[in-house]
Structure 1
Amino acid sequence: MGLRKHTTSCGDRMWRNLVVLVFILLLGACSETTFLAHATKELQDRMGSNGAKAQGIYKVGNPYEINGIWYYPKVEYDYVDKGIASWYGPKFHKRKTANGEIFDMNAVSAAHRTLPMPSLVRVTNLNSGRAINVRINDRGPFAHGRIIDLSRRAAQLLGFEVAGTAPVRVEILPEESRQLALRAKELNFAGHRTEPKKPDSAPTVSVTSSKLPPPDGAKAAKPPSKDFKVLPAAGRREKVARSQSVIAQVDGKVTYRRIEKMPQIFVQAGSFSQFQNAHKVRAVLKQLGPTKITQIDIDKRPLFRVRIGPLDNVDAADQILANVIKAGFPEAETVVD
């Protein structure tokens, strides 16, 4: 009886120990699963939901056609333009941009039709004077009457998220854009570089040496003494300086520029080298609104622009632009003076 009672007690203790061990293993597996889930999410956030690397490539691109209009991307470090800006966000959030980056609507970036990617531009809201530096990493906008499509965060900083659009001045920052291009090209090269194949080991050979007498008529130099030392050349050491370019950053800092006059919005049907042609276009379009011909000189040659306006707001300009396009001028655009 005593022996049976002792055996039962040992069995109970073994059973309890086994239950505790299983519980610890399950708890550890649960913790590991949680850790893996968090690690996977962090990896996806860094690389994008489709696993693609967030680091984009340097890209200018070939000419392309959208809705019957051709666009010609090019390197243009003197680019300055005025027009209407819009913004994009949730529909494209965490999707790839045209140069392979992952679009983040909460970061400061923008889409442009022709500038290299990446580039850095200064965007100024001409209604308020608010200005920020913006990274170009996507193509667009492809809606008529827009010159740049900003991320939601950029629109917030410029103060037109609610309005949806604003007249802006876009100016490329040439030195900063060159730095971005150089950095992107270096990363592209590093990403595609492969390690060279190691050569086979060279065959080993045995080498012997022997002291030879000097040739006839030659005098052998005396060996240096034990105290002989080679001293460095006297004088100041020259320091070799390596210039390191500072890569431009988009910090979201808002500055203010003085606005000399409030912007005026026009719809421009086209520019013509012959006044007669401009006059004919004006005759067709004058029923749509106040239409006038203005002259500018490009390389000492006159150009005659046909414009409707000034218009009250962006909505009015969009309506007039749509009518001008329907009238047979597909390359008409909204401009800001």
Structure 2
Amino acid sequence: MILVALCLAGCAETTLVTNGSKLATEDSNTIPPYKLGKPYQIEGAWYYPKVDYDYSETGIASWYGPDFHGKSTANGEIFDQNALTAAHKTLPMPTIVRVTNLENGRSIEVRINDRGPFKNNRVIDLTRRGAQLLGFEGQGTARVKVQVMKEDSILLANKVGGAQLAYAGEPEPLAGGPKPQAAPAGTVVTQKLPPGQSAPAPAPAQTSASTVQPQASSSVVGLPKPSAQQAAATIPSLNGSVSYQPVKPTHIFIQAGAFLQQSNALKLTQQLASLGQTRVTQARVGTQTFYRVRLGPISKIEDADTLLQQVIGTGQPDARIVVE
């Protein structure tokens, strides 16, 4: 990513097209080829790019703009602070995601074309225009939900010569085949693998002064062949339309880790007890139960940032901020 300079549902949606929003029409001739990349390391933390059309995660969003306008993004594009694009640590480039500001109910769709953000465990880094449309340009951060738009993402991937690439060096299953179990957000990568399997050794990231450039994976499995109707469809257009969704109360937590063994979770809970209220919650993923260690709730994002660094300082580099 262009490293970040931080500015340190059941009801029907109504839609507003904001006046003056930049028309970001997606043209397969102007979008670089599909790119996933190998695992990479930033400031001691490993990130594992993955194809995940069911991706949905909550957390804290940030934005980046003037300092990086005109520089290269991780997929080779020129960064435009007025476009509806975003940086994400692991999703393929391009992927279309819906970002919802949980504080005001505003929701927009953007295209992933960069890597990051890497500071304070932000879940996504939007352009300045994206932050304006979601209503948090002035405050710099917001509690958000990020969801992959599956059909649009598959269509766009096919249009730019996409392939369903490997996760940690191993190919994703073909359409209709069994899928690997995914652990809850914050789980250490080695715990995501089925019993008896181990992850390949990660490869170091290639970095420049302002850009993380993960390498393309050599393991490729073709995306499902589009139907005639899909093949004739147009590239999704991101035109700055803002949807409004009901606003519900949210709480911020620090997730220090997730474990298959409850005893490991309890051990970590005791280790972190001096930092604040710590609890163990269960999450069912497929046939497995994970035990998540969380601290909170926390009322302010600034306090969550401070506590996150304290937890990381105890030897938990995969700790993250979650919003529920």
Matched, 1:133 2:121: no
Matched, 1:82 2:58: yes
Q: State the SS of the aligned residue for 2:318.
A: coil
Write the distance in 1 (CA, Å) between the matches of 2:74 and 2:268. Answer: 37
**Amino acid in the other structure paired with 1:161:** E
Q: Is the 8 A contact 1:129 1:256 kept in 2?
A: yes
Question: Which residue does the alignment assign to 1:149?
Answer: 125
- Range with bigger deviation, 294-303 or 311-320: 294-303
Q: 2:235 aligns with which of 219, 230, 247?
A: 247
Question: Which residue does the alignment assign to 1:314?
Answer: 301
Cα root mean square deviation, aligned: 1.9
**Amino acid in the other structure paired with 1:120:** I
Question: In 2 relative to 1, CA 136–241 (structure 1 residues): closer, same or farther, beyond 3 Å?
Answer: closer
How many matched pairs? 231
Higher helix share: 1
**Amino acid in the other structure paired with 1:173:** M
Matched, 1:267 2:257: no
TM-score normalised by structure 1 residue count: 0.66
Matched, 1:258 2:234: no
Question: Which residue does the alignment assign to 2:266?
Answer: 279
Q: Could you report, residue by residue, the CA deviation over 1:278-315 in whole angstroms, capped at 9, with x for unpaired residues?
A: 11111111111111111122223221111110001110
**Structure 1, unaligned stretches of length 5 or more?**
1-52, 187-239
Q: State the SS of the aligned residue for 1:254.
A: strand
Write the distance in 2 (CA, Å) between the matches of 1:173 and 1:254. Answer: 15
Matched, 1:69 2:45: yes
Q: State the SS of the aligned residue for 2:270.
A: helix
Following superposition, the deviation at residue 83 of structure 1 comes to 0.8
**Structure 2, unaligned stretches of length 5 or more?**
1-28, 163-227
Question: In 2 relative to 1, CA 104–243 (structure 1 residues): closer, same or farther, beyond 3 Å?
Answer: closer
Following superposition, the deviation at residue 242 of structure 1 comes to 9.8
Following superposition, the deviation at residue 56 of structure 1 comes to 2.2
Following superposition, the deviation at residue 57 of structure 1 comes to 2.4
Q: State the SS of the aligned residue for 1:276.
A: helix
Write the distance in 2 (CA, Å) between the matches of 1:252 and 1:62. Answer: 32
Write the distance in 2 (CA, Å) between the matches of 1:243 and 1:293. Answer: 47
Following superposition, the deviation at residue 276 of structure 1 comes to 1.7
Q: State the SS of the aligned residue for 1:284.
A: helix
Write the distance in 1 (CA, Å) between the matches of 2:245 and 2:238. Answer: 18
Write the distance in 1 (CA, Å) between the matches of 2:158 and 2:237. Answer: 14
**Amino acid in the other structure paired with 1:166:** A
Q: State the SS of the aligned residue for 1:162.
A: coil
Question: In 2 relative to 1, CA 291–178 (structure 1 residues): closer, same or farther, beyond 3 Å?
Answer: same
> Larger RCO: Structure 1 or Structure 2 (Cα < 8 Å, ≥ 6 residues apart)?
2
Following superposition, the deviation at residue 181 of structure 1 comes to 1.2
Following superposition, the deviation at residue 143 of structure 1 comes to 1.1
Query: Which has the higher Rg, Structure 1 or Structure 2?
Result: 1
Question: Which residue does the alignment assign to 1:295?
Answer: 282
Question: Which residue does the alignment assign to 1:107?
Answer: 83
TM-score normalised by structure 2 residue count: 0.68
Q: State the SS of the aligned residue for 2:140.
A: coil
Q: Is the 8 A contact 2:279 2:294 kept in 1?
A: yes
Following superposition, the deviation at residue 164 of structure 1 comes to 0.7
Question: Which residue does the alignment assign to 1:327?
Answer: 314
Question: In 2 relative to 1, CA 134–55 (structure 1 residues): closer, same or farther, beyond 3 Å?
Answer: closer
Q: Is the 8 A contact 1:55 1:100 kept in 2?
A: no
Q: Following superposition of structure 1 onto structure 2, how do residues 170-249 of structure 1 map, counting pairs within 5 Å? A: 170-185=146-161, 244-249=232-237
Following superposition, the deviation at residue 243 of structure 1 comes to 5.5
Q: Following superposition of structure 1 onto structure 2, how do residues 31-46 of structure 1 map, counting pairs within 5 Å? A: none
Q: Is the 8 A contact 2:155 2:230 kept in 1?
A: no
Higher strand share: 2
Write the distance in 1 (CA, Å) between the matches of 2:33 and 2:273. Answer: 47
Q: Is the 8 A contact 2:38 2:48 kept in 1?
A: yes
Q: 1:304 aligns with which of 291, 306, 323?
A: 291
